[in-house]
Amino acid sequence: MPDQTFLDSTELVLNMGPQHPSTHGVLRVILKLDGEKVLGTECIIGYLHRGVEKIAENRTYAQFNPYVDRMDYVAAISNGLGYCLAVEKLLNVEAPPRAQAVRVILTELNRIASHLLWLGTHALDIGAITPVFYCFREREEALKIFEKYCGARLTTHAFRIGGLLYETYDGFEQDIRDFCNMFIPKVDEYEELLTNNRIWVARLKNVGVLNADECKEYGVTGPVLRAAGVKWDLRKAQPYSGYEKYEFEIPTCQNGDTYDRYTVRMEEMRQSIRIMRQAVESIPEGPIMGKVGKVVKPAVGEAYVSIEAPKGELGYYIVSDGSTQPYRCRVRPPSFVNLQALDRMIHGGLIADVVAVIGTLDIVLGEVDR
Amino acid sequence: MADEQKPGGSQAPPPEGGGAPKPPAKPAGEAAKVTPKPAAPAPPPKPPAIMAATPWDSDLARELKERFGDRILQTATYLGQNFIVAKPDSAIPVLEYLKLEADFDYMVDITAVDWPKRAERFDVVYILYSFPRNERVRVKIYIPDGYKPETAVGVHLTANWLEREVFDMFGIEFAGHPDMRRILMPEEWQGYPLRKDYGIIQQDQRWVQENLGIESGQ
Amino acid sequence: MRKLLKKIFLVDLFQGLWVTFRNQNPKYIYTEQYPAERPKVAERYRGAPRLNINPDNGETLCISCNLCALACPETLIVVTSARSEVTKRKELITFTYDTSRCMFCGLCEDACPVDALELTQDFEMATYTREGQIWDRQMLEEGPKPTQYKC
């Protein structure tokens, strides 16, 4: 070691966020740095805390439904599906097959929309500006389908407890088919832009590694877990809403680094298209609303239901006291739990990796803070 | 026990018609409307007022009973979902046992439920999942206000933030937690928002005035 | 060797540039020139609320049943009514709808038994004041009148 007296530096504490574009919202990270090396991080969250769980206790079951869209607002439909499934579990009813098929199609479409937003912003963080325009162009097509189906683009309120409110519109199937056909070449295009790009590879390979054991220890789910080599997807492990009827693969990788998470998500979009194609060809006829009364009033009890949201396991733990309002509605947010692993992932990395790792975790602060 | 969830069985479902918008108003409104109820404790815990859970019969439940004896208060299942009720001080040994011997290697969530009328005011609920068994189980403990359950960080690292959130929202302190601070609310905030006696529009006026420079956040 | 050549000749970068170049074609222009070009919103779009009137006689369709106010999660609808001496039926007096708090979930629309309250395709609801966001019965029946900007 050379003489350190001139080069010796003290630890630097750097504040990143909450108004920092690459923290994807209002995440504040306090970084402890030695030169460019990250020695430790601390996340300060809660800037977007709206008390969703408290609101739930003061609304009826049906009234709370639109609020869940506002947690993970880029995947509002997944949130709604999880909530509806949880209340349906408490009521012990199931949505009719037609409703389930439509739900699957829209949820997968929403997964694509969510992953597109992730890809665009993640690439933007790394320094590739082009993908964000292309991603938003394709995402727009998905949002248009949501708008046609339920009248809103982002916070959709698409599903109701017990099934669906809206029947599919004329040309819904064709729209989905068109989207599928249009989208597959687009994914290839993104891959052409990024997968082999030397800057992209250099910035992502071996950055933010989280292996399988650490993932389980931190409770990390979703693409992050699958990138570490664990072949686990709730759609396969504990199928809900008729996912057992469709054939699809669970994409996995081995290294658990940022590049693998990118690969996993790209492949997941292709698998979502595969599910949508199967589902749209086999939408059964029949009613779209299950046997649920006008006033939703589950028996006293509790249930925990979780689904595979684009970010990971999204769970709802609802306690009912037999009234029309949930006694307690706990949301298990995937982003919140995944964000906890941030410290582990960037420990010892460089400051530029922080941005890459926050991007790859695919957090939505609306869901972290609720 | 399950039938202790609603002490006295006096908590009838609130009257129909939208319900009261605020929970603090609820007990008062109820008491006014159902005045004859408290006088007659007779209809012993109304059947719909408790969770219709059935005993959970499985190898795991038997193993747990054998291992922990009377420290396991209940093993039950409701709607096909299993849960274990343990004594407050044995939650961590149970979690450890489940992780090491029964492969419940993924802690999904920690949360709490507030039952202000009950002697043991809070439920602390640990939701676990096992990758090899593809099975979920909930471990619950009933604790009185002020009781400090032991932290689960030593068993599952993910408990760190989840316990902080429970502390933030309910004021349940976990003994031995490495970093017991508020997580979502500002650190100086007074009060615990998810307790039932905290109104929905209630807020820490002083904090709002000092830090935001406005009269009220409403 | 091939790898080295690929690296020297920047194959990966040119591959990406080619994608960008392909998309330069003017026929791929996607951006809407909003004020000049009006977007077509979907039929089911949930936008500005409207209180429908009977086109034949100009009377309101609202029967003052208050169901929308009960269904609203934000309780932003206030309906007042009085029993008419002549018809012995409830008649609407005022109807206030606070659009500043509305999240356009559509629950009021679902709750309405006579299709009087409806979320329409109007989406330009900006006002200069907060009070302007609170719509009274007249505003709800006539609908918003946004300024049309022409280029």
Distance (Å) from the C-alpha of residue C14 to the closest C-alpha of chain B? 44
Chains interfacing with B (3 or more CB pairs < 8 Å): A, C
CB–CB contact A193 C43 (8 Å): no
Q: Which of B146, B176, B147, B180 is nearest to B163 (CA)?
A: B180
A369 touches chain B (CB under 8 A): yes
CB–CB contact A151 C71 (8 Å): no
Rounded percentage of chain A residues whose pLDDT exceeds 90: 9
Residue B158 pLDDT greater than 80, yes or no:
yes
How far apart CA C67 and CA C71 sit, in angstroms, is: 6
Which class for B200: exposed (0-12), middle (13-18), buried (19 or more C-beta within 10 A)?
middle
Q: Choosing among A30, A49, A54, which should be mutated to test the B contact, i.e. which has the most B CBs within 10 A?
A: A54
One DSSP character per residue, A134-173 reads HHHHHHHHHHHHHHHHHS-SSS---EETTEESSPPPTTHH
Q: In chain A, which residue ranges form alpha helices assigned H by DSSP?
A: 52-57, 61-68, 76-91, 97-126, 130-150, 172-194, 198-204, 212-218, 223-227, 234-237, 258-281, 334-339, 342-346, 351-361, 365-369
Nearest C-alpha in A relative to B15: A323
- Cβ distance A304 to B139 under 8 Å? no
Per-residue confidence (pLDDT) for residue B35, from 0 to 100: 38
- The reply to whether ipTM tops 0.85 is no
CB–CB contact A197 C30 (8 Å): no
Q: Is A322 left (phi over 0), alpha (psi -120 to 50) or beta?
A: left
Q: In degrees rounded to 5, what are phi and psi of residue A51?
A: 70, 45
Distance (Å) from the C-alpha of residue A23 to the closest C-alpha of chain C? 26
Neighbouring residues of A364: CB distance < 8 A, sequence distance ≥ 6: A24, A25, A71, A72, A73, A74, A75, A311, A335
Nearest C-alpha in A relative to C12: A197
With beta carbons under 8 A apart, name residues in chain A contacting B22. 58
With beta carbons under 8 A apart, name residues in chain A contacting B160. 340
C42 vs A62, A147, A165: nearest CB: A147
Where residue B194 sits, what CATH number does that domain have? 3.30.460.80
Q: What digits encode the pLDDT tens for the residues A113-138?
A: 999 999 989 988 888 888 888 889 88
Find where tokens 């779009």 sit: C45
Number of compact structural domains in chain B: 1
Question: Crossing angle, helix A130-150 and helix A97-126, to 10 degrees?
Answer: 160
- Among A27-36, A168-177, B109-118, C55-64, where is mean pLDDT lowest? C55-64
Q: Which of A39, A47, A40, A41 is nearest to A19 (CA)?
A: A47
Let me know if residue B39 belongs to a domain: no
Distance (Å) from the C-alpha of residue C150 to the closest C-alpha of chain B? 39
Task: Report the Cα–Cα distance between both ends of chain A, in Å, rounded.
Answer: 49
Residue B29 pLDDT greater than 70, yes or no:
no
pLDDT band at residue A317 using 50, 70 and 90 as cut-offs = very high
Let me know if residue B173 belongs to a domain: yes
Residue A173 pLDDT greater than 60, yes or no:
yes
With beta carbons under 8 A apart, name residues in chain C contacting B22. none
Q: Which of A19, A114, A101 is nearest to A71 (CA)?
A: A114
Let me know if residue B67 belongs to a domain: yes
- Cβ distance A155 to C103 under 8 Å? yes
B109 vs A89, A332, A370: nearest CB: A332
C75 touches chain B (CB under 8 A): yes
pTM of this structure:
0.84
Nearest C-alpha in C relative to B18: C70
Name the helix (H) or strand (E) containing A307.
strand A301-309
Structure tokens given for B76: 């039950």
CB–CB contact A189 C106 (8 Å): no
Let me know if residue B115 belongs to a domain: yes
Structure tokens given for A119: 């890809």
| Region B33-39 average pLDDT | 40
Per-residue confidence (pLDDT) for residue C149, from 0 to 100: 66
Let me know if residue B107 belongs to a domain: yes
C74 touches chain B (CB under 8 A): no
CB–CB contact A193 C110 (8 Å): no
Per-residue confidence (pLDDT) for residue B218, from 0 to 100: 65
Q: What digits encode the pLDDT tens for the residues A248-295?
A: 888 988 888 889 999 999 999 999 999 998 988 888 888 888 888 778
Residue B16 DSSP one-character state:
S
Per-residue confidence (pLDDT) for residue A112, from 0 to 100: 92
Instruction: Report CA-CA distances (Å) from B157 to A149, A314, A341.
Output: 42, 19, 9
Nearest C-alpha in C relative to A151: C45
Q: What digits encode the pLDDT tens for the residues A220-254?
A: 988 998 998 888 888 888 888 888 888 888 898 88
**Domain interval for residue B155:** 54-198
A250 touches chain B (CB under 8 A): no
Residue B6 pLDDT greater than 70, yes or no:
no
C70 touches chain B (CB under 8 A): yes
| Region B164-179 average pLDDT | 88
Nearest C-alpha in B relative to C69: B18
Residue B46 pLDDT greater than 50, yes or no:
no
With beta carbons under 8 A apart, name residues in chain B contacting A315. 108-109, 127
B154 touches chain A (CB under 8 A): no
Let me know if residue B192 belongs to a domain: yes
Chains interfacing with A (3 or more CB pairs < 8 Å): B, C
Structure tokens given for C35: 């004020």
Per-residue confidence (pLDDT) for residue A167, from 0 to 100: 83
Q: What digits encode the pLDDT tens for the residues A153-171?
A: 888 888 888 888 888 888 8
Per-residue confidence (pLDDT) for residue C150, from 0 to 100: 64
| Region B113-140 average pLDDT | 88
| Region A76-80 average pLDDT | 90
A58 vs B14, B23, B52: nearest CB: B23
Task: Tell me the range of A82-86, A365-369, C118-122 where mean pLDDT is highest.
Answer: A82-86
Let me know if residue B143 belongs to a domain: yes
How far apart CA A212 and CA A199 sit, in angstroms, is: 27
- Average pLDDT, whole number, for chain A? 87
CB–CB contact B21 C75 (8 Å): yes
pLDDT band at residue B11 using 50, 70 and 90 as cut-offs = very low
Cis peptide before A18 (omega within 30 of 0): yes
In total, chain A counts a number of residues equal to: 370
B111 touches chain A (CB under 8 A): yes
Give the number of beta-carbon pairs within 8 Å between A and C.
Answer: 65
- Average pLDDT, whole number, for chain B? 75
Per-residue confidence (pLDDT) for residue B9, from 0 to 100: 37
Find where tokens 């090491």 sit: B100
Distance (Å) from the C-alpha of residue B216 to the closest C-alpha of chain A? 16
The CA-CA-CA angle for residues B29, B30, B35, to 5°, reads 110
With beta carbons under 8 A apart, name residues in chain C contacting B17. 70
Per-residue confidence (pLDDT) for residue B217, from 0 to 100: 65
Residue C50: other Cβ atoms inside 10 A: 21
One DSSP character per residue, A178-205 reads HHHHHHHHHHHHHHHHHTT-HHHHHHHT
Rounded percentage of chain B residues whose pLDDT exceeds 90: 2
pLDDT band at residue B39 using 50, 70 and 90 as cut-offs = very low
Distance (Å) from the C-alpha of residue B30 to the closest C-alpha of chain A? 12
Interface of A with B in 56-95 (CB under 8 A): 57-58, 60, 89-90, 92
Per-residue confidence (pLDDT) for residue B118, from 0 to 100: 83
Per-residue confidence (pLDDT) for residue B27, from 0 to 100: 40
A197 vs C13, C23, C45: nearest CB: C13
| Region B16-38 average pLDDT | 39
- Cβ distance A160 to A246 under 8 Å? no
With beta carbons under 8 A apart, name residues in chain C contacting A169. 43-44
Residue B113 pLDDT greater than 50, yes or no:
yes
- Cβ distance A34 to A9 under 8 Å? yes
Q: Which CATH architecture has domain A6-369?
A: Orthogonal Bundle (1.10)
Structure tokens given for A229: 């080599």
C101 touches chain B (CB under 8 A): no
Distance (Å) from the C-alpha of residue B5 to the closest C-alpha of chain A? 10
How far apart CA B173 and CA B180 sit, in angstroms, is: 7
Interface of A with B in 185-224 (CB under 8 A): 216-220
Let me know if residue B7 belongs to a domain: no
Type of residue at C80: T
Type of residue at C44: R
Q: What digits encode the pLDDT tens for the residues B60-110?
A: 888 888 888 888 888 888 888 888 888 888 888 888 888 888 888 888 889
pLDDT tens per residue across all 151 residues of chain C: 777 877 777 777 888 888 888 888 888 888 888 877 888 888 888 888 888 888 888 778 888 888 888 888 888 888 888 887 777 777 788 888 888 888 888 888 888 888 888 888 888 888 888 888 888 888 888 877 777 666 5
